[in-house]
C-alpha cells in the first residue's frame, strides 16, 4: 500500500488536471494552468507522472517537492499575490500560507527554537518522564558520571582488587548502555523533513503534520530520502541548479 507521499502527489496531479479541465475554478492560477500550450502541458504532466512513479518505489510518508520544470511552468513561487491558490493546489495549511505571505520565506531562528522543544519532547518520551522532566533530567541520557572511586586504588589486598575490577566493569557497562541509548534515539529520531519550498508557520504545526508535509524520520528513512532525491534528479534532469534537493532536512541532534 502506498503511503502519504504518493497520495499527496496524486492529489496535486488530480487538482491540476481538474483545474485544466474546468472542474475546479481558481482565479489567476486557474488562468495560468488553462493557458499553458497543450504540448507544454503534456510535457509537465508526463514529468509529474514520472516523479510519482519514482516516489512509489521509495514510498515515503512525506512527498518531495514538485519537479522544478512543473513548478516553473505553473509559476509556483513566482506569483506571490496568488499564494492562497497555489497553497490549495499544494495542500498547504492556511496558517502556513498566511505566514508565508508575511515574508517568511525560509527556516528562521524561531523555527530553530521550536526544534529544541521537539528535541526535549523526544527525550521526555524516551526517558518515560511523561512531560515531567527538567533540563537536568533530560540531558541525563548522556550521563557517564559513574562513581568509581576505587578504580585507581592500587591496594594489593585481593578483596580491593576484586572490588575495583567489578566497579570498572559496572562503569563500562553503564557507559555502554548510555551510549547505546543515545545512538538508538538519534537513529530513531534522526531528521525532520518537509518538501522543499514549504515553509511551515511552525515546526510544531499540527496541520502541517496532518497534511503529511512534516515528519520526523529515522536514520534509515533519511538515507532512503537521499536515494529518492538522487533518483528523481537522475531520471528527471533539469537546469534549475538550486533545486537538486527535493526535501528540506533539519537534523535533530
Per-residue tens of pLDDT for the chain, all 253 residues: 889 999 999 999 999 999 999 999 988 999 999 999 999 999 999 999 999 999 999 999 999 999 999 999 998 876 567 899 999 999 999 999 999 888 888 999 999 999 999 999 998 888 765 444 443 333 232 223 223 333 343 344 344 434 443 454 444 444 455 566 777 888 999 999 999 999 999 999 999 999 999 999 999 999 999 999 999 999 999 887 767 789 999 999 8
User: Within this chain, do residues 151 and 45 fall inside the same structural domain, yes or no?
Assistant: no
User: Within this chain, do residues 36 and 73 fall inside the same structural domain, yes or no?
Assistant: yes
Rg, Å, the chain Cα set: 25
State whether the Cα torsion 202-203-204-208 is positive or negative. Answer: positive
Cβ contacts of 181 within 8 Å, gap of 6 or more: 126, 141
User: Within this chain, do residues 18 and 60 fall inside the same structural domain, yes or no?
Assistant: yes
User: Within this chain, do residues 203 and 219 fall inside the same structural domain, yes or no?
Assistant: yes
User: Within this chain, do residues 102 and 149 fall inside the same structural domain, yes or no?
Assistant: no
User: Within this chain, do residues 105 and 118 fall inside the same structural domain, yes or no?
Assistant: no
User: Within this chain, do residues 84 and 132 fall inside the same structural domain, yes or no?
Assistant: no
pLDDT at 126: 81
pLDDT at 80: 66
Q: Could you list the residue range(s) of the whole structural domain that residue 100 is in?
A: 4-111+189-251
- Of 164, 188, 212, the one marking the end of a domain is 188
pLDDT at 154: 35
Question: How far apart are the C-alpha atoms of 31 and 52, rounded to whole Å?
Answer: 25
Q: How many residues does the chain have?
A: 253
Q: What is the 3-state secondary structure (H, E, C) of the chain?
A: CCCHHHHHHHHHHHHHHHHHCCCCCCCHHHHHHHCCCHHHHHHHHHHHHHHHHHHHHHCCCCCCCCCHHHHHHCCCCCCHHHHHHHHHHHCCCHHHHHHHHCCCCCCCHHHHHHHHHHHHHHHHHHCCCCCCCCHHHHHHHHCCCCCCCCCCCCCCCHHHHHHHHHHHHHHHHHHHHHHHHHHHHHHHCCEEEEECCCCCCCCCCHHHHHCCCCEEECHHHHHHHHHHHHHHHHHCCCCCHHHCCCEEEEECC
pLDDT at 144: 30
Number of separate domains in the chain? 2
User: Within this chain, do residues 119 and 95 fall inside the same structural domain, yes or no?
Assistant: no
Q: The pTM is what?
A: 0.77
User: Within this chain, do residues 12 and 106 fall inside the same structural domain, yes or no?
Assistant: yes
User: Within this chain, do residues 104 and 194 fall inside the same structural domain, yes or no?
Assistant: yes
User: Within this chain, do residues 99 and 31 fall inside the same structural domain, yes or no?
Assistant: yes
User: Within this chain, do residues 184 and 134 fall inside the same structural domain, yes or no?
Assistant: yes
Amino acid at each position: 500500500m502506498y503511503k502519504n507521499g504518493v497520495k499527496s502527489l496524486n492529489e496535486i496531479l488530480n487538482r491540476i488536471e481538474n483545474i485544466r479541465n474546468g472542474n475546479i475554478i481558481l482565479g489567476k492560477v486557474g488562468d495560468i494552468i488553462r493557458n499553458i500550450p497543450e504540448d507544454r502541458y503534456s510535457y509537465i504532466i508526463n514529468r509529474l507522472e514520472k516523479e510519482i512513479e519514482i516516489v512509489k518505489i521509495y514510498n515515503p510518508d512525506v512527498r518531495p517537492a514538485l519537479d522544478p520544470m512543473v513548478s516553473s511552468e505553473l509559476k509556483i513561487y513566482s506569483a506571490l499575490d496568488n499564494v492562497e491558490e497555489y497553497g490549495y493546489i499544494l495542500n498547504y495549511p492556511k496558517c502556513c500560507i498566511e505566514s508565508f505571505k508575511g515574508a517568511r520565506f525560509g527556516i528562521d531562528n524561531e523555527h530553530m527554537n521550536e526544534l529544541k522543544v521537539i528535541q526535549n519532547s523526544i527525550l521526555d518520551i524516551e526517558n518515560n518522564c511523561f512531560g515531567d522532566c527538567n533540563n537536568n533530567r533530560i540531558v541525563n541520557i548522556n550521563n557517564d558520571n559513574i562513581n568509581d572511586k576505587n578504580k585507581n586504588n592500587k591496594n594489593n589486598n585481593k578483596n580491593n582488587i576484586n572490588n575495583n575490577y567489578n566497579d570498572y566493569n559496572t562503569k563500562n557497562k553503564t557507559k555502554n548502555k548510555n551510549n547505546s541509548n543515545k545512538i538508538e534515539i538519534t537513529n530513531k529520531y534522526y531528521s525532520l523533513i518537509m518538501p522543499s519550498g514549504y515553509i511551515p508557520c511552525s515546526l510544531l504545526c499540527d496541520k502541517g503534520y496532518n497534511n503529511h508535509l512534516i515528519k520526523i524520520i529515522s536514520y534509515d528513512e533519511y538515507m532512503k530520502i537521499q536515494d529518492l532525491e538522487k533518483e528523481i534528479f537522475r531520471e528527471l534532469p533539469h537546469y534549475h541548479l538550486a533545486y537538486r534537493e527535493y526535501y528540506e532536512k533539519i537534523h535533530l541532534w
